[in-house]
Amino acid sequence: LTEIKTVSHDHKHTHNWIRFRQKSDADFEKKPCLHIETSDKQNFTFRYKKLKKHTHGVSRIERPGLAALNFGYSENSSSHKKVVKSSTDDGHFIRTAYYKNGRHKGRVKQQSAPVGEQGKEVVTHRYSYHFRKKGEKTHYATVVDAYGTITRYHWNRFKRLVKITKYSPNWKHLMSEEFVWGDKKHTGHLKVRTLFDENDTPLLSRRFVYDARGNVKKEVLYGRFTENSGSIKLDDNGYPNKSTCDTIVTRRIYSKEGYNLKVEEIDCIGNHTYYSYFPHSNRLKSKLVCDGKKIKKREFFSYNKSACVIQHITDDGSTKERDNLAGATQRHITKIRPRLKYPHFGEPRVVEEYYWDFDLKKERLLTKTLNVYSKNGNISQKRVSGADENHHSTSRYDHDHVGRITYSKDAVGREQFFKYDHFGRLIEKRGPRSDVTTYYDYDRCGHLVKEAEVVHGGFTYVTQYRYDLLGRKVAVIDPQGHETHISYDRLNRITKIAYPNIYDHNGEAVSPVRTFEYEKLGTKVVQRDENAYTTTTIFNAAGKIISQERPDKTIIKNFYDIKGNCIKEIAPNGVEQHIAYDAFDRPTAIVMKEGDKELSRKSMEYTTFHLTSETSPTGEKCLYSYDYAGRKKAVHLQGSARQNHRVTTYGYDSMGRPEREESHGVVKTFVYDEADRLTSESVKNSSGETCSYTIYGYDVDDNCSEVIRSIMDEPASTTTLYDAHGRVIKETDAKGNVWNYAYNDFYTSINKKNVTEKTTYHPTGVTEREVFDVHGNSSYLSRYDPFGTLIAEKKCYYDASDNCIRVKESSIVEGKQEKAITTLLSYGPGNRLECIIEAYNTHEQKTTRYAYNRFGQKEKTIHTDGSATETHYDSKGRVKRFFGRAVDYTYSYDASDRITSVFNALNNHTTIRSYDDIGNLHAETLESSLKMEYAYDELGRVKELVLPDHSKVGYSYSPVFLESIERTDTNNVKQWQYTVFARDLSGNVLSADLPGQTGTAYFSYDSLNRRTKVSHYAFSEELLQFDPAGNLLQLSF
């Protein structure tokens, strides 16, 4: 054998090849090796060692970009040499020992490797064997890992695995899995696979039924998935025929022409999916997804002569024929021009995304991507253009000799560099910030053990990882040296997370620990938080939550259909939420009930691809429409009585990004850069006149670094600089005032721990110093005046769950603490606040306590004088009654949770509210019987206010901003009018006609948007000077 080559059907194109450079027998005896070369320019070398006459074994495999594999063989005179050691050049190895005598001779006895935190060679697995005796059905092998966990594998006489059982070191049963195989001619057919928990109770079973050609024609999954509380019951042969639990049945039909291709699949609720193929091949031609048997979604595929996909069509048509568009509202077309030479033959060279324009009856381009390949077949450039076919962006890449990316440059010029070791592992990464380089170290097993982030001119942040003998991550040491430890059980599930210690006000260590306990193979999990409160969660066989008891003993329950959709949720107070779904598992109705009483109903409608309408519980309807490319075209809010409506339309740029949003004369426009970041947004009126705009700039990490607005026709810029961790290090406002922030991530705290210290330098000269604990909580805050004198100080302490339990604030006089004021806080289950003691241990001490009802809602607030306020809730969790010594209100709501009335029991009066048909407040009658009415424009802004005496206030808009206010009396006679004449591009009023024919006022603003001057023929006022904190220093009038 010298070559393996694949070619196109017409033999015009070579796809790829592998060539073998073999030596003659004589040369091979002298230097035994085999060289292999591939069409993508990769070279492999197999080196051999002579084991005995005419017999060689592979001693080394040299692989491109990866560590070479070395093999050592036993030195005894056995006729079959055994591999006793496999190793890589980086020091990792697996040493294998074999039984030397008896019936087990030649079988693996144990294996060892350099594992664990020290990397010393330890025995990782031990093996023993049992061959079936008379009356026994299976052989089995027993494997004991480095921690004594036992796994036993059973196999039958056909060498098929029939059972896997796991035990603790003292042979306590942990779990098992059983396999049932066919008989006679079907011994290779897996018929049943069943999973058992630690009590040997079956939790999940999967049964396979085959057709005459060995295809799985029916697959049945048994388990508890829905409200059904049945169980799996196996017969004597291991089949779940007697089960009373849920079953999920999937059926499949296959072609009969010899290719055994799947042509139809029916899911558990009867939805069909049909597949068709090109003749005499396994190339998929179409896929039709149905609701029942009604076609809802179609996919069609086309190929070239080399079997490369060159076109993929997706639409929502209703027929089987590709060119029949009956019922279709959208069609998406992807066209691919593949690379027609090796290496990497068939990779996409040009990818064009189209949609079908049903009006023009033709394809319309959305985007086009051109991939440029290097000589080695790797993408070196990716050029993207939009619907207008104009170039949009270019990304560049360099690769090493095995195809790993070593350099990338994105569309806005951000560069990244990557380096790898001789074993293919990433060891260095630089960019997109040029001042940050990250280095990676690995242990002999290839686990990442060290990650060092070097900030040039700053700190080096080193994160370390430790692993146990089985390769599980057991410790993470953060850059400040704080360790989080992770423990596991015998089934590799996390049982404990021990977080770094924090310290209380006495300097005593608090050790936060979160634990997990598992029952029934993890279908019951008991989690204890850092304060020892428990959450018990029960899962169904599919791993979905069916009930959860929270720390406050409240319980929620969920119920599912056989597809895994949650169809019912029961809240702690017993209120049920029922959810219905369509064929694509999208919710179509959400109904809230209390017993047989319906509390609210929300409904949704969809096409194949999109949500088309939502109806609120009070009947407001939101309608969505889309263009032929599937982009949202309009949102129409329609009132329940169809008296009011609101329409918002959307437009898109050539790259498909939102470019225009218009609603009743207000137009918002958006502009983006090559990295798809928003660079400017503006608001215009229907005439195209710009009313406001904002420009955005970004740093290399996509942090917003500059915001520019126009104030008084001048640009006002605010800039922000960030460090490598995304923290603000400098802010400069439009007046040039600067806030600087410095971080010391290795500050030594009072408890001798490395923590973060943040220092803020205000432009006023005031300095703030904040220290965080090892969990990132603010533990100390001090403030100094410009002369360095202490003016404020606060210390905070936390419990194991990071709840603030003590605050000590100092009263500072002339830089010295005069007294300390302490606030104590205590928390209950679920981290809910239960008590606050203010001014603790002083004459002014004040205690406030909180009580909760059995549903977990805050029910009572008890004040220090013994008085209390109570809150009662309705079935939907809304405040029903709020009452106390001097207050007693009862609330009523509509189905959309809007307040409709508030009854004051102290004076027997009621406030009543009513709403228009799209949810705006229409009228409000106060307790005093005074009534106000409101009318709104299409954008939801108040356009008329009717006062209790039936006089009115009218509002008109430009339409972007408020333009005028008109006051009329009860006879609808105008009393006065306020009119805005001019605004700047930030919406600030520049001139306005004042009420009562008092003339025109003119206004000026500074670059921080503060009103600095008011001019009127009768008076003027000018704010001449502010300090950097915004305090007024000088005023003239």
State residue 94's pLDDT score.
Answer: 96
Cis peptide bond N-terminal to 500, omega within 30: no
Q: Quick: pLDDT tens for 756-773.
A: 999 999 999 999 999 999
**Cβ-based burial of 970 (10 A; exposed 0-12, middle 13-18, buried ≥19):** exposed
State residue 980's pLDDT score.
Answer: 96
∠ CA 783-786-790, nearest 5°, is 35
N- to C-terminal Cα separation, the chain: 100
State residue 1's pLDDT score.
Answer: 83
Q: Quick: pLDDT tens for 877-924.
A: 999 999 999 999 999 999 999 999 999 999 999 999 999 999 999 999
Report the alpha-carbon distance of residue 988 to residue 173 in Å, rounded: 75
Q: Average pLDDT of 302-313?
A: 96
Give CB contacts under 8 A, 24+ apart, made by 883-892. Answer: none
Name the helix (H) or strand (E) containing 25: helix 25-30
Report the alpha-carbon distance of residue 780 to residue 773 in Å, rounded: 9
State residue 51's pLDDT score.
Answer: 84
Q: Quick: pLDDT tens for 182-211.
A: 998 899 999 999 999 999 999 999 999 999
What percentage of the chain exceeds 90 in pLDDT? Answer: 89
Report the alpha-carbon distance of residue 328 to residue 522 in Å, rounded: 46
pTM exceeds 0.85: yes
- For 402, other C-beta atoms within 10 Å of its C-beta total 16
514 near 176, Cβ under 8 Å?
A: no
Q: Quick: pLDDT tens for 638-649.
A: 998 888 899 999
Report the alpha-carbon distance of residue 65 to residue 390 in Å, rounded: 39
Instruction: Kindly provide the residue ranges of all beta strands, DSSP E only, lying in 65-201, ordered along the sequence.
Output: 69-73, 83-88, 93-98, 108-115, 120-130, 139-145, 150-155, 161-167, 173-181, 190-196
Helices (H), 696-842: none
Report the alpha-carbon distance of residue 520 to residue 537 in Å, rounded: 12
Backbone angles phi, psi at 859, to 5 degrees: -105, -30
State residue 642's pLDDT score.
Answer: 86
State residue 242's pLDDT score.
Answer: 86
Q: Average pLDDT of 67-76?
A: 89
**Cβ-based burial of 492 (10 A; exposed 0-12, middle 13-18, buried ≥19):** exposed
Largest pairwise CA distance in the chain: 119
What percentage of the chain exceeds 70 in pLDDT? Answer: 100
Q: Quick: pLDDT tens for 124-166.
A: 999 999 998 888 888 999 999 999 999 999 999 899 999 999 9
Report the alpha-carbon distance of residue 150 to residue 168 in Å, rounded: 6
State residue 79's pLDDT score.
Answer: 65
Q: Is pLDDT above 90 for 618?
A: yes
Q: State the residue for tokens 């040029």.
A: 434
Q: Give the burial string for 994-1023 (b: 16+ CB within 10 Å, else e).
A: eeeeeeebebbbbbebeebeeeeeeeeeeb
CA-to-CA separations, 743 to 438, 482, 726, 1022, in angstroms, rounded: 20, 18, 12, 40
Which residues are 839's β-sheet partners? none
599 near 895, Cβ under 8 Å?
A: yes
Tokens for 635? 């949102």
Cis peptide bond N-terminal to 202, omega within 30: no
Residue 572 falls in which region: left (phi positive, over 0), alpha (psi -120 to 50) or beta: alpha
Q: Quick: pLDDT tens for 95-105.
A: 999 998 888 98
State residue 972's pLDDT score.
Answer: 93
Weakest-pLDDT range from 112-121, 182-191, 471-480: 112-121
Q: Cα–chain-centroid distance for residue 907?
A: 52
Report the alpha-carbon distance of residue 1033 to residue 983 in Å, rounded: 27
Q: Average pLDDT of 161-178?
A: 97
Q: Give the burial string for 455-484 (b: 16+ CB within 10 Å, else e).
A: beeeeebbbbbbbbbbbeebeebbbbebee
Instruction: Kindly provide the residue ranges of all beta strands, DSSP E only, lying in 563-627, ordered along the sequence.
Output: 566-570, 576-581, 587-594, 597-606, 611-615, 621-626
Q: Quick: pLDDT tens for 699-740.
A: 999 999 999 999 999 999 999 999 999 999 999 999 999 999
Residue 629 falls in which region: left (phi positive, over 0), alpha (psi -120 to 50) or beta: alpha
State residue 77's pLDDT score.
Answer: 59
240 near 202, Cβ under 8 Å?
A: yes
Report the alpha-carbon distance of residue 343 to residue 64 in Å, rounded: 16
State residue 530's pLDDT score.
Answer: 97
Report the alpha-carbon distance of residue 883 to residue 366 in Å, rounded: 60
Q: Is pLDDT above 90 for 108?
A: yes
Report the alpha-carbon distance of residue 414 to residue 405 in Å, rounded: 15
Tokens for 883? 């009452």
Q: Is pLDDT above 70 for 300?
A: yes
User: What letter represents residue 447's amino acid?
Assistant: H
Q: State the residue for tokens 């030596």.
A: 23
From the list 217, 195, 192, the residue with the least C-alpha distance to 206 is 192
Q: How many CA atoms lie within 13 A of 818 on its CB side?
A: 7
From the list 596, 597, 615, 595, the residue with the least C-alpha distance to 605 is 615
500 near 775, Cβ under 8 Å?
A: yes
Q: Quick: pLDDT tens for 10-60.
A: 888 999 999 998 877 778 878 889 999 999 989 999 999 988 877 889 999
Q: Quick: pLDDT tens for 241-276.
A: 888 999 999 999 999 999 999 999 999 999 999 999
CA-to-CA separations, 85 to 73, 105, 114, 482, in angstroms, rounded: 7, 18, 12, 38
Report the alpha-carbon distance of residue 70 to residue 423 in Å, rounded: 13
State residue 78's pLDDT score.
Answer: 62
Pairing relationship of beta strands 272-277 and 262-266 according to DSSP bridges: antiparallel
Average pLDDT, the chain: 95
From the list 764, 758, 808, 803, the residue with the least C-alpha distance to 786 is 764
* Band of residue 988 on the pLDDT scale cut at 50, 70, 90: very high
Torsion of CA 485, 491, 495, 496, to 10 degrees: 0
DSSP state at residue 41: S
